[in-house]
């Protein structure tokens, strides 16, 4: 017996958190009966339906996407904007993005139909590090960068300590390129962190997700992760070390 939200996630319906939302909203039936209780457990013999469609277990797939700017990192958009799914027209599985990148942020994003894997990659307790390169307006001094390193207060709480490194400075343009590594995933976190110290982000790219980078890809291109890469990410989440 497994919890219903875990079964949905393992079947590739959505991430575990999104699966919980589907249950709460009454969109899931077990043996013809709507279930809204998150603690519900089901077995292999139970018939599970999501929005009228019977659950069928899919083979797990894992893709690395170099997300370009101007793309929404969700499976659909109420405003009709282009989403990351539009970049995978040939993929039959119901994949979804692992976490999010802002509309105006480019870089590494993983796509999968494995909800448990997504949970390992995104929950802060597993500490998967994400490295960003931010072009900011103004040139922060050492004290400003130290605030990012220690954590800054945002509307939804204080950020965890970050690793910050000044890369280059353009005194003529009055801008700087700064490398920042975090392991959290608050909404628009990096942009809000720089806003908090008075240096707004003009351009942002996620350089790496754990040990995965976009090396060899152009913006908008994707490739399947190797079995070894997936294993490395799992081990990284579970042990904090590359397997």
Q: Residue 182 pLDDT more than 60? A: yes
| Mean pLDDT score, 167-173 | 97
Tell me which of 53-62, 125-134, 144-153, 185-194 is least confident.
53-62
Q: Is the pLDDT of residue 57 over 80?
A: no
pLDDT score, position 146: 97
Any idea which residue has 């119901």 for tokens?
94
Q: How confident is the model at residue 242 (pLDDT cuts 50, 70, 90)?
A: low
Given phi > 0 = left and psi -120 to 50 = alpha, else beta, which region is 60? beta
Q: Given a cut of 90, is residue 59 above it in pLDDT? A: no
Element (H, E) at 115: helix 115-122
The pLDDT of residue 243 is above 60: no
CB-based contact 196:152 (threshold 8 Å): yes
Q: Does domain 2-54 have CATH number 3.10.290.10?
A: yes
CB under 8 Å to 28, separation ≥6 — which residues? 4, 8, 22, 34, 35, 48, 49, 50
Give the three-state DSSP class for 65. Answer: strand
CA–CA gap between residue 222 and residue 212 (Å, rounded): 13
28 vs 13: CA distance, rounded Å: 11
Length reported for the chain: 243
- pLDDT band with cut points at 50, 70 and 90 for residue 116: confident
pLDDT(231) > 90: yes
At residue 157, the pLDDT reads 92
- CA 65, distance to chain mean position in Å, is 11
Q: Which CATH number fits domain 62-124+214-239: 3.80.10.10, 3.30.200.190, 3.30.70.580, 3.20.20.100?
A: 3.30.70.580
The catalytic site residues sit at 102
62-124+214-239 and 129-209 agree in CATH topology: yes
- Cβ count near 198 (within 10 Å): 12
> Out of 3.30.70.1560, 3.10.310.10, 3.40.50.620, 3.40.50.150, which CATH number does the structure's domain 129-209 have?
3.30.70.1560
């Amino acid at each position: 017996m497994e919890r219903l939200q875990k079964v949905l996630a393992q079947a590739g319906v959505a991430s575990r958190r999104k699966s919980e939302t589907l249950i709460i909203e009454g969109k899931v039936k077990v043996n013809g009966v709507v279930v809204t209780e998150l603690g519900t457990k089901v077995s292999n013999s139970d018939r599970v339906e999501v929005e009228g469609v019977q659950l069928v277990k899919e083979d797990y797939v894992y893709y690395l996407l170099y997300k370009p700017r101007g793309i929404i990192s969700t499976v659909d958009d109420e405003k009709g904007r282009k989403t990351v799914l539009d970049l995978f027209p040939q993929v039959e599985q119901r994949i979804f993005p692992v976490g999010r990148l802002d509309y105006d942020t480019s870089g590494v994003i993983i796509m999968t139909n494995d909800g448990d894997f997504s949970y390992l990659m995104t929950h802060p307790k597993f500490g998967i590090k994400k490295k960003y390169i931010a072009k900011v307006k103004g040139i922060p001094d050492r004290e400003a960068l130290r605030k990012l390193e220690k954590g800054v207060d945002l509307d939804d709480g204080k950020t965890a300590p970050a690793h910050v490194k000044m890369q280059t400075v353009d005194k003529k343009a009055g801008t700087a390129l700064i490398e920042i590594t975090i392991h959290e995933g608050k909404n628009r976190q990096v942009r809000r962190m720089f806003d908090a110290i008075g240096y707004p982000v003009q351009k942002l790219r996620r350089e790496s997700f754990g040990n995965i980078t976009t090396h060899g890809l152009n913006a908008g291109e994707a490739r399947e992760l190797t079995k070894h890469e997936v294993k490395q990410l799992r081990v990284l989440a579970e042990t904090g070390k590359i397997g």
